[in-house]
Structure 1
């Protein structure tokens, strides 16, 4: 009898592991296909051989400029920003045990947006200064939300409500800055606010790559603690987890990711909101969802950019397409929560 129970547990473990690895591989292959599509599609289409030769450093007239200067930075920024949004969004949602606890809903992204818009419209600066300001503002807003939500003890529901309130206030600040700005500067700020991969340059990629590498890997390492936090505050403490320290590390890593990605591409709507739930449905329970969520976010951004650029007569920024995908899910989630009276 004992051996039979052991075999059932072992078989269940293996099924979950096979499913998890299958999802990871499938998402990785899909993301690779979308990356190749980004390099291939355009006014002039080049063969796979030409693309490889250009990427290896060969100078081919026309192809080098189109692939290395225009398409490669766009593809890499979409890939890295999508991973950052996906991993950060899943971290907040899992830690707070609520699908509404996405950085673009609880105000963290809006904090970075206010700083970036202020730099663009008021200070007339761009580049690294915008990135530093966006990261600093995102961290400040996240810290403010965390402190205000503590009260006697930490409450995920209180954090979400405070975050939504702060987001509304920050969106009002953005609207004020747009109204007071020079009319010639407003279009650039609006394009950035819509979330766009247009105008990406290779100089934007190294910082984003380092941020995703460092803080993304940190989140993957902390993933096992995240699964313990998902059990609830009291259960996590009983299991010996230092909840405050662990939660602070998770928040710092997630905020750095979301703030830096927002500084580079703008606030691409709903990727952080959707990537985690989609990845959780695909991968199932039992393993950390950080990596699947990152790959899902990358695939979402790349696919949405392909659709926005080539599926219509007018080219749309990637954030418009992801926003269209995310709005119905948000309505569905709110309706379901209203019917069940729960948080999910």
Structure 2
């Protein structure tokens, strides 16, 4: 493929029309789903009553249910979904592998080790308040990523070696987490086990704030590098000919991916398969060879909010959101594995 063809595939100024239309459509669907999620509960709220309650007027019990119970949880689902979606889209795009999401690579497992270690330290008499949960997750996620990069070092950030090392690292870190659970009392272990399934129960503004702050800082970085990110789907010689510093862009985007995944994990636990599925769904819906990060983020928000709404309103027993995403994501992972084995190339 020539540099001229590359330039034609990756215009510098004009956004791709289909990506824009798909992103706007997804955003509209997300707004509608948000309104639905805010309306559903023990007592459903009509659209007019919902609007009044959001403004602070109307029956006191309705205002409380909407603003104090449902709204924080919905906002948390949105920011966690966006963070996981963007993180998965970036890692899959940079590593050019549809299986290379933070949960498969072990980044979420590293963040989980950091969080559970802090909980265990507090249960054993340590200074749990000295290390905030989001910071512990960031340190754990970044440490896992650094260790994976070290063990998989082969001069590039591509190929199956990174994926295989990441899967092995995820298994090892999960074992560390399970060991830490045996060192704390039953109550803290049970609470940690629920968190490890991926749950939004009993969470709200305090958990959403660090994730929202991370998105405000890191999404502009993604937007600035969006043009270079699109070039990474091509071979290295074409990337260089196009004037993109490939390795520098890859490292930067991977660090952003790790930070977003770690922050989302600290807030809701390692919600299974959201990062894996979101980017691939976004790419297929938009019908483009790369993964549009904003579309992947909106898709992740749709998945998390939709699964959480079903889990808390449509089932006899309220389930952690991670249970439903796992039920959807596990078959999709098998599909990706089968597709790669059949085609012999990344899907």
Considering only aligned residues, what root-mean-square deviation do their CA atoms show, in Å? Answer: 2.4
The residue aligned with 1:186 is 189
In the TM superposition, what whole-angstrom CA distance separates every residue of 1:37-84 from its partner, at most 9, and x where no partner exists? 111101122232332233234474112221111101100000010000
Q: Is the 8 A contact 2:283 2:291 kept in 1?
A: no
Task: Please say if residues 86 and 294 of structure 1, whose CA atoms lie closer than 8 Å, have aligned partners that are also in contact.
Answer: yes
Deviation at 1:180, TM superposition (A): 2.9
Q: 1:235 to 1:123 in 2, by over 3 A?
A: farther
How big is each residue's C-alpha offset from its partner over 1:231-271, in whole Å with a ceiling of 9 and x where there is no partner? 13332223222122211210111111111111011111000
Q: 1:331-342 residue pairs with structure 2 within 5 A?
A: 331-342=334-345
1:206 matched residue in structure 2: 209
How far, CA to CA, are the matches of 2:70 and 2:295 in structure 1?
25
| Residue aligning to 2:34 | 35
Match of 1:45 in 2: 44
Equivalent residue, structure 2, for 1:244? 247
Pick aligned residue for 2:262 from 232, 250, 259? 259
In structure 1, the partner of 2:152 is 149
Structure 1 segments (4+ residues) deviating >4 Å: none
> Corresponding residue for 1:289?
292
Matches within 5 A, 1:66-85: 66-85=65-84
TM-score normalised according to structure 2 size:
0.90
Q: CA deviation at 1:17?
A: 3.7
> Structure 2 CA distance, aligned partners of 1:72 and 1:243?
41
| Structure 2 CA distance for partners of 1:285 and 1:127, relative to 1, 3 Å | farther
1:159 corresponds to 2:158: no
Contact 1:194–1:267, Cα closer than 8 Å, also in 2: yes
Map of 2:303 onto structure 1: 300
1:41–1:126 distance in 2 versus 1, CA, 3 Å: farther
Q: TM-score, normalised on structure 1?
A: 0.90
Separation in 1, partners of 2:255, 2:322: 25
- State whether residues 95 and 157 of structure 2, in contact with CA within 8 Å, keep that contact through their aligned partners in structure 1: no
Runs (5+) with no aligned partner, structure 1: 1-8, 11-15
Number of matched pairs: 334
Cα shift readout 1:272-318 (whole Å, capped 9, x = no counterpart)? 00001101111112776111111100000011111111222111111
Could you report, residue by residue, the CA deviation over 1:151-184 in whole angstroms, capped at 9, with x for unpaired residues? Answer: 3444332111111111111011111112332112
Is the Cα contact below 8 Å between 1:88 and 1:254 reproduced in 2? yes
Paired with 1:25 and 1:56, the residues of 2 have a C-alpha distance of 26
Are the counterparts in 1 of residues 85 and 300 from structure 2 also a CA contact under 8 Å?
yes
> Would the alpha carbon gap of residues 82 and 114 (structure 1) be closer, same or farther in structure 2, given more than 3 Å must change?
same
Residue 319 of structure 1: aligned partner:
322
Q: How does 1:94-113 map to 2 (within 5 A)?
A: 94-113=93-112
**Change in CA separation of 1:69 and 1:236 when aligned onto 2, cut-off 3 Å:** same
Aligned partner of residue 104 in structure 1, secondary structure: helix
Contact 2:39 2:45 in 1 (8 A): yes
